[in-house]
Amino acid sequence: MLQFIRSKAGSLIVKILFALLIASFAVWGIGDIFRERTAAETTVASVGSLKIQADELSNAVRQRMEQFRGMFGADFGMEQAKQLGIVDGVLDSLVQSDLLTLEQQRLGMVIDDAVVRDAIVADPHFHDSKGVFDRNLFNNILGANRLTEDRYVTLMRRDLARSELTDALGAGAAAPPILGETLYKFRNEKRSIASVLISADGVAGIADPSDAEIADYYAQHQSMFRAPEYRGFTALILTPDDVASSIDVPEDKLKSEYQSRTDEFSTPDRRKLEQMVLPDQAKADEAAAAIAAGKSFEDVAKEVAHQEGDAIDLGWVKRDEMLPALADAAFALKDGEIGKPIESPLGWHIFKVTGVETGGTKPFDEVRAQIAGDVAHEMASEKLYQLANQVEDSLAGGSTLAQLAEQFKLKLTAVGAVDPDGKDPKGTAVAIPASADVLKSAFETAQGQTTRLNETHDNSYFVLHTDSVTPSVVRPLDEVKDQAKQAWLTDKRNAAAEANAKAIEAAVTDGKTLEDIAATKQARAETIADVPRTGGDSGLPAALVARIFEIKPGQTAVASGPKGWYVAQLKSVEIPDPASDKDGVAKLGSELTGTVRADLLAEFDKALRNRFPVEIHQDLVDKVL
């Protein structure tokens, strides 16, 4: 067939056939492939006529993650960013930005060059120490952020236009004063009550259940007695410690590291000081003369400087914690000595040294082992990565875990049975390196299956084989009989406590207060004043606090809490006067106005999304991040 095509390749008919074939690929096959690669694989979202590219999203997400690393540490990664909603939040911000751009274009908004220039000149970031715009500082800041002047001006023009647009939308929005006053009264209302606690643990007279009652309780509450699913697995776990122990750090590298970390191994001189501060030289000379005459430092400080106790005790101080002139004077004194008056911007000082600690630097030999361990761990990361690659290659080649352990001289970790919390059937915690990641993988892998090589959050690696799966089952009654008995007793006591609380509530009438009824029940009523809506430090359960704010004075409420059942009678209601706290009401009004404006902007954003269609390509977002 090929020979036939070659022999006829020059004919007009064959040329026409090839032309049709190529055209069909262009329309249906290859053309689609190229179109998908240039659009679908780079565009993570479409906003009207604008496109948000994958690299734009990736850069924005990574910039935001750098901010979060200050809170969560260097290990904060992309998975945590996704779980916290950072990726979705950044993408939504980019979408909102493009929506505003499109609306600016639709309205024909233009920001004059003079407005942009004035905004840049007024920016305090570009001002010198005198508060004047500094062109050199402006250029340096732009250079440090990899921005040209033209690019910065473009960004500033865009942001000013957006501000004009959003500020105009929210400029007239304001919460009415009556709303702020009403909310102020609602939030700051307080109520005083009388309360009785009926403790379930204190309920007496509940007889032990019969075997039949225990069996019936067990049958009705089987979910309480269910054993968790257990997994048995064998894992090959590679940790930095495994590799670090085999690394021999060269002596010259250890000494170089020691030199670079001298401050870490150095202890500064310290002095334990007492200090009196005098307002002027005359008082300082008076104090010095009194000390020279034989009076104690403490007595002089009290009589002349009017200072004593913590006011004169500075405790242990390092040289760099003091003003240089004061430090020189204080650290020149010996233990027990009192110095001469010395002046500083804070006044005149007289120091007494009550303790001396001489600093120094630990010799290399003393910290050699520590440095070797630290450097070995740093070097271990690269070596561990190389080892992990070798293990992964062998695993792909069909090696079993036992073969991998023998080939690379690694230790296998065998776990007979463990639940998702890392405990064996007896409830004992099982020691597993990188346990969180390993356990999660073990419970996601089917019996008889081997995982790929996985990296953990602490820079370890593991591969595991799930040996056995023991499904979650209800434990037999004989095994949990004591547990079922205690649960039955707890329920009965709680029910009795609830019944007692409701009986007390029912006995409270117009003529009998909660305190009267409590006295007849051998219970104690406690008065709790000024309970806020949040509960404050009253110690009352949230359910009871909520009920207290639903009833009128004289009425009662019942609710359960961790300690038992509560009965409360409302005694009084205190509603604050907004006029007595104008600042508080004004602050609340500002918060409400901010909320109103935020709601307006949210509605504006919703309207823009209706005007300019937004399409998110979530599969590509997940792929690129």
DSSP string, 347-369: EEEEEEEEEEE--EE--HHHHHH
**Angle between the 149-170 and 113-122 helix axes, to the nearest 10 degrees?**
100
Amino acid letter, 386 = Q
Kindly state the average pLDDT of the residues 141-145: 82
Query: 12: pLDDT confidence band, cut at 50, 70 and 90?
Result: very low
Q: Phi-psi bin for 342: left (phi > 0), alpha (psi -120 to 50), beta? A: beta
Query: 567: pLDDT confidence band, cut at 50, 70 and 90?
Result: very high
Structure tokens that stand for 172 in this block: 């007239």
Residues 6 or more apart in contact with residue 199 via CB below 8 angstroms = 497, 563, 564
pLDDT for the residue 239: 82
* Residue % of the chain over a pLDDT of 70: 92
Q: What is the pLDDT of residues 583-599, one digit of tens each?
A: 999 999 999 998 888 89
Helix (H, G, I), strand (E, B) or coil at 109: coil
What is the spatial distance between Cα 435 and Cα 300, in angstroms, rounded to a whole number? 63
Residues 6 or more apart in contact with residue 202 via CB below 8 angstroms = 497, 564
**Angle between the 86-107 and 54-72 helix axes, to the nearest 10 degrees?**
130
Does domain 230-249+367-471 correspond to CATH entry 1.10.287? no
What is the spatial distance between Cα 415 and Cα 235, in angstroms, rounded to a whole number? 8
Kindly state the average pLDDT of the residues 495-512: 90
Q: Give the full edge-to-edge strand order of the sheet including 564-574.
A: 525-532, 190-198, 564-574, 556-561
What is the spatial distance between Cα 576 and Cα 438, in angstroms, rounded to a whole number? 57
Weakest mean pLDDT among 30-39, 175-184, 359-368, 503-512: 30-39
pLDDT beyond 70 at 215: yes
Kindly state the average pLDDT of the residues 159-181: 86
pLDDT beyond 90 at 524: no
Backbone angles phi, psi at 469, to 5 degrees: -130, 120
Query: 510: pLDDT confidence band, cut at 50, 70 and 90?
Result: confident
What is the spatial distance between Cα 499 and Cα 350, in angstroms, rounded to a whole number? 72
Query: 6: pLDDT confidence band, cut at 50, 70 and 90?
Result: very low
What is the spatial distance between Cα 313 and Cα 331, in angstroms, rounded to a whole number? 16
Q: What is the DSSP string of 310-339?
A: GGTEEEEEEGGGS-HHHHHHHHTSPTT-B-
Q: What is the pLDDT of residues 102-118, one digit of tens each?
A: 998 899 888 888 999 99
Q: Topology of domain 190-221+480-574, per CATH? A: Chitinase A; domain 3 (3.10.50)
Query: 377: pLDDT confidence band, cut at 50, 70 and 90?
Result: confident
Domain borders along the chain are: 2-38, 43-108+577-625, 190-221+480-574, 230-249+367-471, 273-305+324-355
The C-alpha angle with vertex 457 and arms to 453 and 458, in degrees rounded to 5, equals 100
What is the spatial distance between Cα 414 and Cα 418, in angstroms, rounded to a whole number? 11
Query: Helices H, strands E: what count in the chain?
Result: 24, 19
pLDDT for the residue 141: 87
**CATH class assigned to 273-305+324-355:** alpha beta
Backbone angles phi, psi at 433, to 5 degrees: -60, 145
What is the spatial distance between Cα 546 and Cα 568, in angstroms, rounded to a whole number? 12
Structure tokens that stand for 365 in this block: 């030999």
Backbone angles phi, psi at 414, to 5 degrees: -105, 125
Q: What is the pLDDT of residues 41-83, one digit of tens each?
A: 589 999 999 999 988 898 888 888 877 776 666 567 787 888 8
Structure tokens that stand for 510 in this block: 């117009």
User: Which residue in the block uniquely carries the two structure tokens 């009824």?
Assistant: 517
Question: Mean pLDDT across the chain, nearest whole number?
Answer: 86
What is the spatial distance between Cα 370 and Cα 364, in angstroms, rounded to a whole number? 10
What is the spatial distance between Cα 278 and Cα 351, in angstroms, rounded to a whole number? 12
pLDDT for the residue 140: 85
Q: Phi-psi bin for 363: left (phi > 0), alpha (psi -120 to 50), beta? A: beta
Where are the extended beta strands (E) located within 331-479? Answer: 342-344, 347-357, 360-361, 412-418, 454-455, 461-470, 473-474
Q: What is the dihedral of CA 312, 316, 318, 319, to 10 degrees?
A: 40
Q: First CA to last CA across the chain, in angstroms?
A: 49
Tell me the range of 12-16, 214-218, 507-511 where mean pLDDT is highest: 214-218
Partnered with residue 361 across adjacent β-strands are 266
Kindly state the average pLDDT of the residues 138-163: 85
Cβ pair 218, 484 in contact under 8 A: yes
pLDDT beyond 80 at 15: no
Q: Shortest CA distance to 616 belongs to which of 33, 169, 57, 126?
A: 57
Identify the DSSP state of 224. G
pLDDT for the residue 352: 95
Identify the DSSP state of 147. -
Q: Shortest CA distance to 173 belongs to which of 625, 605, 589, 613?
A: 589
Weakest mean pLDDT among 244-253, 254-263, 417-426: 244-253
Amino acid letter, 300 = V
Backbone angles phi, psi at 201, to 5 degrees: -65, -25
Kindly state the average pLDDT of the residues 261-284: 90
What is the spatial distance between Cα 427 and Cα 107, in angstroms, rounded to a whole number? 68
Cβ pair 316, 331 in contact under 8 A: no
pLDDT for the residue 178: 93
Domains 190-221+480-574 and 273-305+324-355 share a fold: yes
pTM metric for this prediction: 0.54
pLDDT for the residue 94: 92
What is the spatial distance between Cα 592 and Cα 114, in angstroms, rounded to a whole number? 35
